[in-house]
Structure 1
Amino acid sequence: MTSIEITSEEQAELGKALTDALNPLAAAIRSRQSGLPTARMWDADPVDVTLSVLAAWKMVDAEVKRLTAIAAATAGSYGASYEQMGAVWGITRQGARKKWPDAVPRPAAVAAQRGAALELFGGAAELVQDPSSGGWAWAGEGADETRGAAEGGVWYATKEEAAAHAGAFLREHAAPHS
């Protein structure tokens, strides 16, 4: 897979959607800083208003970086290589490894997974196999200390399927980053 291009129409739609999503955050920041209600945000000094917008974009940028790292780790957990991630991101394999150093499991981590342990997104899960049926289940704790397990005694056909469900749980309960 190579770097993804978007059309100018898609870029315009994305810009509008992001700006629409940003405006309430910028208004809330400006309201807190000025004491004005959010509906009167634009009545403030134009420099202060534009700096509030810039501050909101900084927060969006940090959140996008956090979500991007989660997406890279998820891709790596499913077997994507740094070369593939770099191609999609428009950087080299080495650049992808530097950007997301823990996204692709190292051979030692893969060996640990064979031992039925999974560590992702700051949390951990144990994979267990039912000796009689051969099915797999999981139980774990996310980085936010939320505990979870395979629902209602469900046994998955493969260890990989149980790991995928456990990984999704760990991703949902990843620690927030600033």
Structure 2
Amino acid sequence: MNDGSPFWNELLKLRDPAWSDPTEAQQDKLTADVQRLAYDLGAQIWSRAEEIEDVPPRTRDQVTGYAPDRYLATLRALRAVKDAADSAAARVASEAGHRGAGYPQLGKAWDITRQAARLRWPGAVSVINEANNQEPVHFEMYGGEARVSFHPEEGGWWWIATAANRKVREAPADLTYDTSEEAAAAAGVFLAANTTTDGATA
């Protein structure tokens, strides 16, 4: 719950970076844990599992160690682990998006581009979190005005501007910016280039 205290307000702000990369030891342990899970699952789905139930433990270990299809069963289990990780990632990405993270942050966490994150988790970013200052920004410059707003579905910022010479332009529909400052700067370039009032570009 958010009681409006400085602690909660600070907690709800996105921190960049939001993590530190796993150490080599942490990655090695994770790999070992995943391999153990896959090996256990592989033992359960192995087509010979029932055939060797009555084999003495020592002989069973030997059979397990030499049978090539036992390793194929483990490989199939690892594919199930990947599918489970992808499913879990989609849920976590959605949770992050509903708490104010955008596609730039989701992509960075998954080590992919913002565009790739949008394709991987469409709809994950669907709400604006006021705590992250994603409210629209309106400003006047060079005799014109611009509005910068956050597009949650795109996971980025967009702009539309009316220059002093009454020309109107907006960012292309397929283009968004990672920050409101970047979008405002692009709008500012347009305003600066159209400061005359006779319809000509300055």
Give the structure-1-normalised TM-score. 0.52
1:72–1:100 CA contact under 8 A, matched in 2: yes
| Corresponding residue number in structure 1 for 2:102 | 81
| Corresponding residue number in structure 2 for 1:104 | 125
Structure 2 residue matching 1:36: 3-state secondary structure: coil
Mapped pair 1:43 → 2:59: no
| Corresponding residue number in structure 1 for 2:21 | 5
1:72–1:85 CA contact under 8 A, matched in 2: yes
1:30–1:41 CA contact under 8 A, matched in 2: no
Number of equivalenced pairs: 107
Deviation at 1:37, TM superposition (A): 2.6
Unaligned runs of 5+ in 2: 1-15, 129-202
User: Percent identity of the aligned residues?
Assistant: 32
Alignment of 1:24-39 (within 5 A): 24-30=40-46, 35-37=51-53
What per-residue deviation string (whole Å, max 9, x for no partner) do you get for residues 34-88 of structure 1?
6323963651553201100101001111111000000001111111100111111
Identify, as 1 or 2, the structure richer in helix.
1
What per-residue deviation string (whole Å, max 9, x for no partner) do you get for residues 2-45 of structure 1?
58522211111111111222222111011566632396365155
Amino acid paired to 1:12: D
Q: Residue 68 of structure 1 is aligned with which of 58, 72, 89?
A: 89
RMSD: 2.6
